[in-house]
Structure 1
Amino acid sequence: MELPDARMFQKKLEALPWARSVTYIDKETALKELVDALGDNPEDLLGYNPALASFEIYLNADYANTDSMAMAETYLKRFKNVQEVIYRKDLIHLVNENVKRIGFILLMLAILLTLISYSLIRNTVRLLIYSKRFLIRTMQLVGAGRSFIRKPFLIGNLWSGLIASVLAMGYLYVLLLYMDSKVGGLITLLDPLMLGSIFVIVLLFGLIIMTSATWLAVNKYLRMNTNDLYYV
């Protein structure tokens, strides 16, 4: 394939929805890579350059699976200038399986952290409301309704839950960056929808935990008799 034709074909490949980037490797560059790999120049022995020009195609994360790559292989083989499509099917399958495991581990880690957070937050909120139990009783005695009494506690703790959730998402993102530094390109392989779902779940759980813990703790003291407040 002549260089102008190769450039046109490269542009055609780059326009495909599953192609993230396409690199053209000419025969001379391919020969240099072959010499580096073998340690000898096969051109000296054969009298001609046996290396073939090629294209390296990097797929978008959504298409980095065996089914999509098989479909891409079938599509590329339709072109008369394409002699062979090479990719590691076994490696792709292994990588996808590992990515699924990592996604599952991240989800389990998020759930575990949420449960631990719930226990810590619940106890913290109970102690906070406990210290305000006589203020709650005073507000009841002057005629404040239950909703009015709950409101400042709920709003304050909702903000705390929001901040805690954002911090938790930040920690998860830092963990992802660390894992990506150990396994190059990991983030690009993970499903964006799955990652987004994990972050949304963490955010919602943080808000729900703070709201429920505050609601239950305030209601506990709203239902108590004045004398019982001294023996809690």
Structure 2
Amino acid sequence: MASSFEKFQKRRLISSYFSVVLSIFLVLFLLGILGLFIINSKRLSDNFKEEIAMTVFFKNEANDTIIKSFDQQLKAEPFVRSFVYVPKEVAAKQHQDIIGEDFMTFLGMNPLQNSFDIHLKADYINADQIRKIESSLRTNDMVSDIVYDKQLVSLVNDNIQKVSLWILIASGFLTLVAVLLINSSMRLSIYSNRFIIKTMQMVGATKSFIRKPFIWRSVKLGFIGAVLAVLALIGLLFYLDNNFPGLGLLQNQLLVGMVLLAVFFVGIFISWISTFFATQRFLNLRTDDLY
């Protein structure tokens, strides 16, 4: 009978430990994902901005010398991230692939123009800067037209500001939730041992002596949960980097390492501080209040 009761107590204890570790792991994992998203959010938004192309079309009178001169000009411009020259023959072939037929057979000519597809740096992707760049490029007499998606530029900048604000709010909220959940898990764990705490106090044990084993146990559980969260985050990072290399999630390894270390130490610190105050609460209760 005693043996079965001991087994039951052991299973209950293991189940309690597992619940605490799982809670810590899940909360830290979500907190880590948010942290990684925050440190990569600017680069991700910059990458998205830099995908917006500005196309500069040249008149048919523009010869190779003018085209080469414009090429050299773009290489010297600070606002240019990358560019590619698209001859009208290449543009015609691209249109044929899109529409599925040779439109020049019935037109008898190639109506397209030589052009440059220019990708600007993210800092210059806003309405004012692009208008200045457009005005500067139009000073070239051989430029016939400049085309880019003005609505997309405005939409991207407006939405990025809104998303950044919501990310900041979500970060604060999730951090608060993380503290409360880990604190609740630790308090429940200590609550199940409240009679042991009070018994030890009644036989003369000091508060620091009573707190020590509970804090040490909680720190170990927090350590396990934090390690699991860090390993899961590393696995997620490598998975995303292998499948979506364009995101460049591992480019800034220093910031990534700082987020992982922060997740690790937050798990241990919250476990320690929660256990300290939980044991202190039961140490200060009267025996009658335990019930």
TM above 0.5, yes or no, is yes
Query: How far apart are residue 25 of structure 1 and its match?
Result: 0.5
Identical aligned residues as a percent:
29
Partner of 2:103: 41
Q: 8 Å contact 1:30–1:51 — kept in the other structure?
A: yes
Change (3 A) 1:30 1:159: same
Partner of 1:121: 182
Q: Under a length normalisation based on structure 2, what TM-score does the superposition of the two structures give?
A: 0.51
Q: 8 Å contact 1:43–1:49 — kept in the other structure?
A: no
Q: Separation in 2 of the partners of 1:173 and 1:21?
A: 28
Letter in 2 for 1:152: W
Q: 2:146 aligns with which of 85, 94, 113?
A: 85
Letter in 2 for 1:52: Q
What are the within-5 Å matches in structure 2 for residues 139-158 of structure 1? Answer: 141-143=204-206, 145=208, 149=212, 152=216, 155-156=219-220
Query: How far apart are residue 17 of structure 1 and its match?
Result: 4.1
Partner of 1:96: 157
Partner of 1:60: 121
Q: 8 Å contact 1:65–1:96 — kept in the other structure?
A: yes
Query: How far apart are residue 95 of structure 1 and its match?
Result: 2.7
Query: How far apart are residue 89 of structure 1 and its match?
Result: 0.9
Change (3 A) 1:114 1:144: closer
> Alignment RMSD, CA only?
4.8
Q: Under a length normalisation based on structure 1, what TM-score does the superposition of the two structures give?
A: 0.60
Q: 2:277 aligns with which of 209, 216, 220?
A: 216
For residues 35-62 of structure 1, what are the alpha-carbon distances to aligned partners after superposition, in whole Å with 9 as ceiling and x for unaligned?
Answer: 55595635854x6533211111223334
Unaligned 5+ runs, structure 1:
none
Query: How far apart are residue 28 of structure 1 and its match?
Result: 0.8
Q: Separation in 2 of the partners of 1:81 and 1:215?
A: 75
Partner of 1:25: 86
Q: Separation in 1 of the partners of 2:208 and 2:140?
A: 77
Query: How far apart are residue 205 of structure 1 and its match?
Result: 11
Q: Separation in 2 of the partners of 1:21 and 1:119?
A: 48
Larger relative CO (CA 8 A, sep 6+): 1 or 2? 2
Q: 8 Å contact 2:197–2:282 — kept in the other structure?
A: no
Q: 8 Å contact 1:165–1:206 — kept in the other structure?
A: no
What are the within-5 Å matches in structure 2 for residues 181-196 of structure 1? Answer: none
Alignment coverage as a number of residue pairs: 212
